[in-house]
Amino acid sequence: MSEKLKIGISVGDVNGIGLEVIIKTLADSRIFDYCTPIVYGHTKVASFHRRTVHVHDLNFNVITSPAQAHHKRANIINCWEEDVKIEMGVSNEIGGKYAFVSLERATNDLLAGEIDALVTAPINKDNIQNENFNFPGHTEYLQQRDGASEVLMFLVSDTLRVGVVTGHIPIARVAESISVEKILAKLRLMDASLRNDFWIRKPKIAVLGLNPHAGDNGLIGSEEKDVIIPAIEEARANDILALGPYAADGFFANGAYQQFDAVLAMYHDQGLIPFKQISFESGVNYTAGLSFVRTSPDHGTAYDIAGKNKASETSFREALFEAIHIVKHRRETAVLNENPLAFAKLSRDRD
């Protein structure tokens, strides 16, 4: 049996539900059969959160580097020395400061190849801002650290996969930010991710319109005719099976999404609102297009329930397993590209 993957976990805002869902996930010792988790935080902060969720049988193995990780334990790297005052449910400078310290250390180890993937607990996009983090969110920060020219915010679950052309930008800037080139770039990333990360041989992608009723042939906006349709046509000319544009409301309401492997939305809320309605408990946020694998739960810091032992760990647990699956799929794809005859053996191993 090959060595288990080392999965790094950043703790997010220490005043939110991040550590609660991390602890609840790792309290199930069966997790250690699938991966070696390494939390980037501090034992004192973790112990505080462990008491609030009444988990008494989870003890962290303290290490200073991933190389020291115990493969049958929940490991933790102390990323700071000072005591931290926890104020559950409060957005403050402390929450943002240590969220960044955790994320930066985990990302450094990820880029150095010391961990195999990263799962990020939720941050507050406002209080984390500092001279080293001037980004709308995790996605843009990790894109910059990786040096990736283009990435795709890809929300995935067992029943639905949704990507967005424009991410964390004001709604007033959406229309001007959409172009044939931008849509085509996202379609290429989505198609490649579906093939390499999710092992879908012939992906079928639905593309949503920007305007109500997908523009009604130009009566309610021209973006569909001028931008979206030409992008779809060019994608199809490049062997990407993209169809549309579809009116977003009817597309999700009548279940048409079930006929596709993924959906490309034009802007954040157009894709994320239906995704969270359909897959909130099990949804995972995946950043496609990076050289490494990063996932996260599809919820935020949830200050309103922080410290009340009410947070569900389902989405975080799914993010952890999705990271494992994607790393393995990528490695298997690399093997197949080098040696197509290995397909039969890999298929037997997967069965």
pTM: 0.91
99-115 pLDDT per residue, tens: 999 999 999 999 999 99
CA distance 232 to 204: 12
Q: Which CATH architecture has domain 150-289?
A: 3-Layer(aba) Sandwich (3.40)
- Evaluate whether the domain defined by 1-148+290-313 bears CATH number 3.40.718.10: yes
Residues of the chain with CATH 3.40.718.10: 1-148+290-313, 150-289
Question: Do residues 5 and 35 lie in contact, with contact meaning Cβ atoms separated by under 8 Å?
Answer: yes
290-343 pLDDT per residue, tens: 999 999 999 999 999 999 999 999 999 999 999 999 999 999 888 777 765 554
Residue 36 in tokens: 């070696």
Strand partners, 38: 8, 75
CA-wise closest residue to 14 among 98, 73, 71, 76: 98
In which residue ranges of the chain is pLDDT below 50? Answer: 1, 343-348, 350-351
